[in-house]
Amino acid sequence: MSVATVTVTMQTYSEIDNTQELDSAQEREIVLRCQKGDADAMGTLIIEYQHWVYNIAYGILGHHQDAEDVAQDAFLSAWENIGKFQFRSRFSTWLYRIVKNKCLNHIDQYQRRKTDPTEIDDSQPWVPLDTLTPEEEALRTEEKNIVHAALAKLKDSHREILILRELRDLSYEEISEILGCTLGRVKSRLHEARKALKEELERVKW
């Protein structure tokens, strides 16, 4: 797959949010096809993980355009290195590490930008929206702004685990694998992160 192919595919990700999650057997078969050079299979993985990758990057970087750039770069890297994936972990774990490393590299190269709470990308599924009245939508937007502002003030480890658990709804076991820590540490860190978020929300509200 060329750089151009991935770019075109990624440009559509903000418009798509109706994909079904792949089961492990389906995902393995698709990854194996990628390892044989099947560009269409990589496109399937991009569609499957595009929102997740974007949200991980946005949660770490706190900036829409930076998150889009890192997401695209992460998928390019995944495609270029897919042959190195040996199925010793879930594909999502491997991909998450790529995204996180890309974010850290981005922070190293460019100073971290402060999140503007008004810069919310409503096309991304941070908070699913049902059909709302204008008044309800305004209230929901205000709530989202408050949450984003509070998340931006948390330390990286707290923001990271909240994204994995509350946004992606990963199990404790999956988070343990991704973060490389014990289940006990996952639970304690999540408790600390929720407490920190609650405290920060109170500060932002008042």
Instruction: Decide if pLDDT at 7 tops 90.
Output: no
Q: Could you tell me if 86 and 154 lie in one domain?
A: no
Question: Does one domain contain both 78 and 49?
Answer: yes
53 and 6 Cβ atoms separated by less than 8 Å = no
Are residue 174 and residue 197 in the same domain, yes or no?
yes
Q: Is residue 14 located within the same domain as residue 94?
A: yes
Residues 90 and 142 in one domain: no
Q: Please indicate, yes or no, whether residues 6 and 70 belong to a single structural domain of this protein.
A: yes
Rounded mean pLDDT, 19-35: 83
Q: Are residues 174 and 140 in the same domain?
A: yes
State the average pLDDT over residues 64-76: 91
CATH of the domain at 65: 1.10.1740.10
Examine the domain organization and report whether 203 and 108 are in the same domain.
no
- Let me know if residue 121 belongs to a domain: no
**CATH number of residue 168's parent domain:** 1.10.10.10
| Same domain? 96 vs 41 | yes
Q: What is the pLDDT of residues 96-133, one digit of tens each?
A: 889 988 988 887 775 434 444 444 343 444 343 345 55
Per the domain annotation, does 120 fall within a domain?
no
Q: Are residues 182 and 202 in the same domain?
A: yes
- Contact 73/25 with Cβ under 8 angstroms? no
Domain end, chosen from 72, 94, 115, is at 115
- Over its C-alpha atoms, the chain yields an Rg (Å, rounded) of 17
Q: Is the dihedral of CA 28, 91, 77, 168 positive or negative?
A: positive
Distances from the Cα of 115 to the Cα of 1, 92, 147, angstroms = 34, 26, 12
Q: Of 37-46, 128-137, 174-183, give the lowest mean pLDDT range.
A: 128-137
pLDDT more than 90, % of the chain:
32
pTM given for the model: 0.61
pLDDT tens by residue, 85-94: 999 888 988 9
pLDDT in tens, 136-180: 556 666 676 677 778 778 888 888 888 888 866 778 888 888 888
Pick the residue with more confidence: 4 or 101? 101
Q: Band of the pLDDT at 32, cuts 50, 70, 90?
A: very high
Range of the domain at 194: 127-206
Whole-angstrom distance, CA of residue 119 vs CA of residue 46: 25
111 and 141: one domain?
Answer: no
